[in-house]
Amino acid sequence: MKRLPKRGRYDEETVFQILDKGFVCHVGFSVVGQPYVIPTNYGRSGHTLYLHGSAASRMLKALSEGVPVCVTVTHVDGLVLARSAFHHSVNYRSVVILGTARLVEDPAEKMKALRIFTEHVLKGRWDDIRKPTEQELKATTVLALPLEEVSAKVRSGGPLDDEADYALPVWAGVLPLETVAKNPEPDALRKNDPPLPEYLKNYSR
């Protein structure tokens, strides 16, 4: 961040756009001196990021005990191909969140958080599916991380070569990259499936 300050962004809109574009984060925390970085899903509502998982999860257990956490979200938007090796880069958008997560214990708040989590990944899904039973809710840990100490960093645009290198006979530019949804594959064990829901047609983020 210090080396390339022009890429540092802190405005809420940029942070929320980056968080809402994705649903996979990496959760960094340390337990007895051993750092872990674990990939997991998330959902956002307002100034809260929700994480969820099995009540047996070591990650969620550690975080619910108040271990400080660092969550990162990254989108790779392209390969930036310069004329020199030195100026090659990547177009990206990323967010880093620091803080301490809160265990969501109230069943009503937990259910609400799971709805937010599900809707964040696939909008429209929650209304279609069977909701968690009391027992399933107990077996699920939900954590809320406040979006208070947050930074965003964005790199976009073409390569920035040294003046003398522009004359070199080397292809330079950007190879844009994105994650795309392919055709939905129906479950082979389906018995009573309705037609493909609207929210699965042309899914994109």
Ligand X SMILES: Cc1cc2nc3c(=O)[nH]c(=O)nc-3n(C[C@H](O)[C@H](O)[C@H](O)COP(=O)(O)OP(=O)(O)OC[C@H]3O[C@@H](n4cnc5c(N)ncnc54)[C@H](O)[C@@H]3O)c2cc1C
Nearer to ligand X, 14 or 48 (CB): 48
Nearest-Å Rg of the Cα atoms of the chain is: 21
Nearer to ligand X, 10 or 36 (CB): 36
State in angstroms the smallest separation of the CB of 35 from ligand X.
Answer: 10
Nearer to ligand X, 135 or 192 (CB): 135
Integer Cα distance of 47 and 13 in angstroms: 11
List contacts with ligand X (CB under 6 A): 24, 36, 38-41, 52-54, 57-59
Integer Cα distance of 126 and 21 in angstroms: 19
Nearer to ligand X, 70 or 172 (CB): 70
Cα 159–chain centre separation: 26
Integer Cα distance of 141 and 139 in angstroms: 7
State in angstroms the smallest separation of the CB of 147 from ligand X.
Answer: 18
Nearer to ligand X, 32 or 167 (CB): 32
State in angstroms the smallest separation of the CB of 65 from ligand X.
Answer: 13
Identity at 30, one-letter amino acid code: S
Contact indicator for 82, 159 with CB cutoff of 8 Å:
yes
**Rounded (5°) CA angle 3-79-12:** 55
State in angstroms the smallest separation of the CB of 151 from ligand X.
Answer: 23
Find the largest Cα–Cα distance for the chain: 68
State in angstroms the smallest separation of the CB of 88 from ligand X.
Answer: 27
Closest-approach residue to ligand X (CB): 53
